[in-house]
Structure 1
Amino acid sequence: MSLSVQFFSLLAMIGTGITAGIVMDLFGTIVAACDNRSFIRRWAFWLECLIWIALGMVSFWVLIMVRDGAWRMYDPVAQVSGLLLYAAIFHHPVRIIGRLLLLVVLRPIWLIIRLVYLMIQRIFYLIFSILSLITSPFIRLVKNIGKFLQNKGRVLYNRLH
């Protein structure tokens, strides 16, 4: 294995460490933003375990792509170095980029989804109100006929005895 391949694989493992730091920071932010009764907060430990397993599988996939799956002793050190590099240098820029994406992309999309949902809900409410207004005289008529027949049956029943 040439020195350039080893250096490239070292950079790839540092990159997986940085990626793991970003993913775990994002997961921690999501868990902190959730309510105590939410599914994510209640199952945070198990979800974090699944995320770590998925990150391990992604790291091994990167090793397969870079070195045909050959594992070296410096790979875990490179990944931990990537995590520390994320905490020391990339934490604040990634947070700023995340806030910008949240404000510029995700919140407008969420607003549009909520607006469409509200419009559909109001349309169904309007249709239900119109149908209710149209059918209310018939429903009252049926109820009054039912009461009349019920009372008529009582009168006939009482006369026979």
Structure 2
Amino acid sequence: MTLSYQFLSLLAMVASGVATGFLVESFRDLAFAFRPNFWIRKYRFFFEIMLWAILGCASYVLLFYLRDGAWRIYDPMAQIVGIGCYELWFRKPLMFIRRLFLHLIVRPIWWVIHLFITIIRSVVRVFLKIILIIINPIIKLFKKMYPITLQK
């Protein structure tokens, strides 16, 4: 393994540390965006442990693709350095990109889905009101014809 290849794999592990810091902070922000009694917020520690386990497996998969799974002592240190670099230098730009992504992509999609659900709900309500308008005279007629059987 050449020295430049080891350096590139070190940079990849630092980048995975930056990604780990970003994903964990994004998950924490997402968990605290819910109501305090919502199930995701109640069990956020369990979900965060699962997230850390998934990120650890993803780091191993990255190592597997980079170096056929060969683990070096500097790999976890590189990830810790990546998390530190995220906190020092990459946090503000990545939070800006996340906020931009949310405002430009996620919220319009969420608005369209909400609009679609509202339209379907309104159509169903109008349909039910039309059916009730048609059925209501029949119900009144049966109440007058059979008052005892319908009151029981």
Alignment TM-score > 0.5, same fold: yes
List gaps (5 residues or longer) in structure 1: 151-161
Letter of the 1:101 partner, please give it. F
Secondary structure at the residue paired with 1:36?
Answer: coil
Q: Which residue of 2 aligns with 1:54?
A: 54
When residues 149 and 58 of structure 1 are mapped into structure 2, their CA distance, relative to the original with a 3 A threshold, is: closer
Identity of aligned residues (%): 37
Residue 144 of structure 1, CA deviation? 2.1
Matched, 1:19 2:19: yes
Q: Which 10-residue stretch deviates more, 59-68 or 27-36?
A: 27-36
- Greater Rg, structure 1 or structure 2? 1
Residue 2 of structure 1, CA deviation? 1.2
List gaps (5 residues or longer) in structure 2: none
Residue 143 of structure 1, CA deviation? 2.2
Task: Give the 4+ runs in structure 1 shifted more than 3 A.
Answer: none
When residues 75 and 148 of structure 1 are mapped into structure 2, their CA distance, relative to the original with a 3 A threshold, is: closer
CA–CA separation in structure 2 for the residues paired with 1:148 and 1:54:
66
Residue 64 of structure 1, CA deviation? 0.3
Q: Which 10-residue stretch deviates more, 138-147 or 22-31?
A: 138-147
When residues 45 and 149 of structure 1 are mapped into structure 2, their CA distance, relative to the original with a 3 A threshold, is: closer
Residue 149 of structure 1, CA deviation? 6.6
Residue 32 of structure 1, CA deviation? 1.8
CA–CA separation in structure 2 for the residues paired with 1:141 and 1:67:
82
| 1:75-107 superposed Cα distances (whole Å, 9 cap, x missing partner) | 010000000000000000011111111111111
Q: Which residue of 2 aligns with 1:156?
A: none
When residues 104 and 149 of structure 1 are mapped into structure 2, their CA distance, relative to the original with a 3 A threshold, is: closer
